[in-house]
Structure 1
Amino acid sequence: MARLHNQDKAKEFDKWVMWKQEGSREAETDLITQFLPLVTKVANRLAIGLPSNVDKDDLISYGRFGLLDALAKFDHTRGLKFETYAMWRIRGAMIDGLRENDWIPRTVRDKAKKIEEAYVILEQQKLRTPTDLEVCEYLGITEKELQQVCYDTSLATMVSIDEAVGDEDEQKTARHSYIVDEVTPRPESVAENTSLREVLSNSIDKLPEKERLVVSLFYFEELTLSEIAEVMNLSPSRISQLHSKAIFRLRSSLTRWKSQLI
């Protein structure tokens, strides 16, 4: 089995060489065909948390552009796994497509912003992660209303976790530099990224147990929200709420970290 796998990888590498170095259009077409199923895979995963008015065919259309971009920019000589890089690019293209079409209602954006602000302010005041009750009291809403807001904004927060802290150019570097490294990273960038990872790790450790489990299963084990719901014996809507609250807490930690850098 391992021998067959190595043979497949060797054939794939030969295709990269034939296309990138020899200009073979046939090899390019073969690679596109080989990796096209990644687009559907990413679309199915992302669609779990999307409202029903978002058409999965639109996601697939956006994702195909992401795949082509990934194929064009991938450096086959570095010995890295293309699938990992491509899935980030495909997902990013889908998210960019959704943003360009401004599918998230302004009211949903406003609600998400108010909750994020509440978590930031309360965490700074109390020097700890605020509870749901404290957030509700600060916003003047009931816990049921908070849960509904978290559900309504679940995709908005799902998108936000992929955004790096910094200006637009820095975000592009932070998102992809661990795979596509065209220049040697500056020492200060390495230190900053290391610090960011530590902040995220510590912040995740401080999350309430259920929220921490959702983050772990979704981002590290790569389960869908529906699969997580089965594992935790909760409804998908409840998992979306837990995910949203976890991201709001993490964003408040990143906001505080960013303010300390200035």
Structure 2
Amino acid sequence: MGNVLLEERTEEELWELYKKTRDPKIREAFIKQYAPLVKYVAGKIAVGMPHTVEFDDLVGFGVFGLLDAIDKYDPAKNVKFKTYAVTRIRGAIFDELRSIDWVPRSVRQKTKELEETISTLEAQLGRTATDQEIAQALGMDEEEYLKTVMKISGTSLLSLNDIWFSGDENDRMSIGDSIEAPASLNPEVIVEKDEIRRIIVEAINELPEKEKKVLILYYYEDLTLKEIGQVLDVTESRVSQLHTKAIVRLRAKLTNIRKGIV
């Protein structure tokens, strides 16, 4: 099929045609059109990552997600391709990061210790724990606790994308997917997924105001950490700290909830 004919069609028509024909020229056109989306997603993930994680590597991992999204996208499900592709691109990047095991063991252990402490503490208190209470439970002063939070900031995005619900490959849902617009859903699992999403939203609403605001601005409004700092009039490192605290606290809350529903 000639390029002129491709250019004359709407994107909706191209998707329908690609679904029927699997024309490599249409696939190539989609790859070219959405390549900037891979860089955009990789750029957001790169924020807060250690310097050992190269941006170009993240882009390379993300390309696999884009290719996967193009091959599996179903326009009949009434989900915009961009929304679907972002989830697949991000998933591919995090899957690859997990496989190369880039997080130092000491950082992983500290993250787990922090989540378990908050989980136990908030279950006992029946409310959101303060920084001071968490620090005390960890046997630290508040300053040391906040330094620990900064040390694990690079893992917070990864932990947010851990699988929360898992059916077959197309029904997987992470905490991150739940904060954002829903991915395409199969009818038989939509009720269960909506319930899980509701639980996650409730858990987010229980976060301290500033932490909740950072999550909303980052995941709903799609701002960078630097832009959020400008909105909240705080430094980028402070936003990173708030983001990490929010994710660790959210995962701790969901651990307590999940024990009751899974």
Moved more, 140-149 or 36-45: 140-149
**1:232 CA drift (Å):** 1.3
Identify if the C-alpha distance between structure 1 residues 205 and 36 changes in structure 2 by more than 3 Å, giving closer, same or farther: same
Identify if the C-alpha distance between structure 1 residues 166 and 71 changes in structure 2 by more than 3 Å, giving closer, same or farther: closer
Q: Is 1:31 equivalent to 2:30 in the alignment?
A: yes
**1:239 CA drift (Å):** 1.0
Distance in 1 between residues matched to 2:100 and 2:167, nearest whole Å: 19
Distance in 2 between residues matched to 1:18 and 1:195, nearest whole Å: 35
Identify if the C-alpha distance between structure 1 residues 118 and 171 changes in structure 2 by more than 3 Å, giving closer, same or farther: farther
Where 1:165 maps in the other structure, the secondary structure is strand
Q: Is 1:82 equivalent to 2:75 in the alignment?
A: no
Is the contact made by 1:63 and 1:91 (CA closer than 8 Å) also made in structure 2? yes
Indicate the residue corresponding to 1:115 in structure 2. Answer: 114
RMSD: 2.3
Show structure 2 runs of 5+ residues with no match. Answer: 1-6
Give per-residue Cα distances to partners, 1:151-170, cap 9 Å, x unaligned.
12123122222334355758
Distance in 2 between residues matched to 1:158 and 1:104, nearest whole Å: 12
Is the contact made by 1:229 and 1:235 (CA closer than 8 Å) also made in structure 2? yes
Identify if the C-alpha distance between structure 1 residues 151 and 168 changes in structure 2 by more than 3 Å, giving closer, same or farther: farther
Distance in 2 between residues matched to 1:19 and 1:166, nearest whole Å: 30
**1:60 CA drift (Å):** 0.4
Pairwise mapping of residues 1-262 of structure 1 onto structure 2 (< 5 A)? 11-166=10-165, 169=168, 172-175=171-174, 178-181=182-185, 183-186=186-189, 190=191, 192-262=192-262
Q: Which runs of 4+ in 1 moved over 3 A?
A: 166-172, 175-181
Identify if the C-alpha distance between structure 1 residues 251 and 83 changes in structure 2 by more than 3 Å, giving closer, same or farther: same
Give per-residue Cα distances to partners, 1:6-25, cap 9 Å, x unaligned.
xx995212222333212322
Distance in 2 between residues matched to 1:28 and 1:197, nearest whole Å: 33
Distance in 2 between residues matched to 1:255 and 1:97, nearest whole Å: 24
Indicate the residue corresponding to 1:5 in structure 2. Answer: none
Distance in 2 between residues matched to 1:85 and 1:171, nearest whole Å: 11
Is the contact made by 1:165 and 1:171 (CA closer than 8 Å) also made in structure 2? no
**1:171 CA drift (Å):** 9.2
Paired-residue identity, %? 39
**1:206 CA drift (Å):** 2.0
Identify if the C-alpha distance between structure 1 residues 116 and 170 changes in structure 2 by more than 3 Å, giving closer, same or farther: farther
Distance in 2 between residues matched to 1:246 and 1:230, nearest whole Å: 19
Show structure 1 runs of 5+ residues with no match. Answer: 1-7
- Count of paired positions: 251
Is the contact made by 1:67 and 1:86 (CA closer than 8 Å) also made in structure 2? yes
Distance in 2 between residues matched to 1:76 and 1:170, nearest whole Å: 18
Identify if the C-alpha distance between structure 1 residues 48 and 169 changes in structure 2 by more than 3 Å, giving closer, same or farther: same
Identify if the C-alpha distance between structure 1 residues 169 and 11 changes in structure 2 by more than 3 Å, giving closer, same or farther: closer
Distance in 2 between residues matched to 1:215 and 1:74, nearest whole Å: 28
Where 1:88 maps in the other structure, the secondary structure is helix
Distance in 2 between residues matched to 1:105 and 1:28, nearest whole Å: 38
**1:99 CA drift (Å):** 1.3
**1:51 CA drift (Å):** 1.6
